[in-house]
A = this chain, B = another copy of it.
Amino acid sequence: MSQTVEQIISAKWVIPVSGDGQKSNKVLNDYSVVVDKGVILELMPTPEVLSKYQTDHHFQLNDHALIPGLVNIHTHAAMSLFKGLADDLPLMIWLENHIWPAEREWVSDEFCEDGLKLAIAEMIRCGTTTFNDMYFQPNMTAKVAHTLGMRATVGMLMFDFPSVWGNGPEDYLKKGLQLRDDYKHHEMIQFAFAPHAPYTVSDEPLKKIATLSNELGIPVHMHVHETAHEVKEGLKNTGKRPIKRLQELGLMTPNLIAVHMTQLQRGEIELLMQNGVSVAHCPQSNMKLASGICPVQELITAGVNIAIGTDGNASNNDLNMLAEMKSAALLGKVFTGSAQACSAHDILHAATYGGAKALGQEDAIGSIEIGKAADLTAINLNTIESQPVYDPVSQIVYTAGREQVSHVWINGDIKLNNQQLVGIDIDEVIQRANHWKNAIQGQA
């Protein structure tokens, strides 16, 4: 007799993405993923699945590729309300005259709640199942992600200076760890230390984070070497490049998620590799803010784990991981002068398994494997834009638009069903976004 399970997802192509370093992802044709209690129970050929399992929820996705849910490794999700507020400006004018004043005036629990809903709706619609966030009011990040059933790693934000979220390093640390404690029974809400950047957090609090990170096995999510200016100022102020300083402070470990990394010398790439640091590559943000280019192919070749992120909506201006994958592949090629660099297969790996590994969650998510959480994304390739299909991985990275994402499951719960968001009221989310825009533009 066949076993009853919660869901069977049969797809034309299942692309499990392996974590074994083999980057040419195998493609399983006419395959099914059996899901029960939020977990992947089995992968098997579709013609055989119904002889072994039965279910009330059989998704037959005859035109679709099924991939691991995408992991967005670097966001400031609530900033979605500032999407397009100030574009095409020099970095410091953008920050000092627009973003920082707007943040000082507007960021609050309520603002972040509305911004997070807008961001999470956008992320699910493009196939993202996990995001790694760094922003004010992480209490709201945890709350909204939990409420909407989104998998999140919440950044325990820290600066040297006070903000709406804390008074200084000790206060930030205390609040962050308290929040983490509040969510210790919510496995989908994980936490990372999130010291903003080398130039905004001083040595003592960074040392404390290094110690706690090692003791507790908590990731450290930090902007590092985003621009040449940052590195130059770091050298001037401390006598060493920021990476060197972080190494001396004990932060160069497999827990570190070093975001941006557009400035790297060869010895530094070896340092990252030897210490198991993950690099969070945000190509569209680096391009739009003219920050520089992360040497992704060199890092891949050296064996450094790469993850992909969109950065915040104020500097992208979307949270579209499909577009980010294409940008990563394209930028990697023109930067190295080699059309082989940053292949579609490598980039899909980075956007799934690479992200999971950066978060220390590669045993739970990041690939379609038995025993892992059912974080899954289905992409319809039977469109004018993606046909014909020679290699579904190429079509996903180079042709698929977010509108082709048809189904998304997080921990086995369906969040996008035939392109319809489940449990999120789009009209209300948009209405709230407009409320904030009118307030910010003085039209309230």
**Residues in chain A within 8 A of chain B (CB atoms):** 81, 83-91, 94, 118, 121-122, 125, 284, 286-293, 316-318, 320, 323, 326-327, 329-331, 333-334, 336-341, 343-345, 382-391, 394-395, 398-399, 401-403, 426, 429-430, 433-434, 436-437, 441
Which B-chain residue is minimally distant from A347 (CB atoms)? B88
B residues in contact with A121, CB < 8 Å:
384
With A94-B339, A317-B398, A318-B398 in contact, is A81–B118 under 8 Å at CB? Answer: no
| Contact between chains at A290 and B84 (CB < 8 Å) | no
CB distance from A115 to the nearest CB of B (A): 10
- As for how many copies of this chain the complex holds, the number is 2
CB distance from A164 to the nearest CB of B (A): 21
| Contact between chains at B387 and A287 (CB < 8 Å) | no
State A317–B284 Cα separation when bound (angstroms).
18
B residues in contact with A89, CB < 8 Å:
339-340
B residues in contact with A339, CB < 8 Å:
88-91, 94, 288-290
With A87-B398, A94-B339, A340-B88 in contact, is A387–B433 under 8 Å at CB? Answer: yes
With A287-B333, A433-B387, A437-B390 in contact, is A399–B318 under 8 Å at CB? Answer: yes
B residues in contact with A344, CB < 8 Å:
87-88
Which B-chain residue is minimally distant from A391 (CB atoms)? B84
State A389–B438 Cα separation when bound (angstroms).
10
With A384-B121, A394-B317, A436-B388 in contact, is A88–B287 under 8 Å at CB? Answer: no
State A127–B90 Cα separation when bound (angstroms).
30
Which B-chain residue is minimally distant from A121 (CB atoms)? B384
CB distance from A387 to the nearest CB of B (A): 5
B residues in contact with A90, CB < 8 Å:
338-340
| Contact between chains at B287 and A330 (CB < 8 Å) | yes
| Contact between chains at B338 and A389 (CB < 8 Å) | no
B residues in contact with A86, CB < 8 Å:
390
| Contact between chains at A385 and B320 (CB < 8 Å) | yes
Which B-chain residue is minimally distant from A436 (CB atoms)? B388
Report which of B288, B292, B394, B401 forms a contact with A329, defined as CB distance below 8 A: B288
Cβ-closest 8 pairs across A and B: A388-B437, A403-B403, A287-B330, A88-B343, A287-B334, A317-B398, A84-B394, A290-B333
B residues in contact with A288, CB < 8 Å:
329-330, 333-334, 339, 398
| Contact between chains at A430 and B333 (CB < 8 Å) | no
Which B-chain residue is minimally distant from A382 (CB atoms)? B430
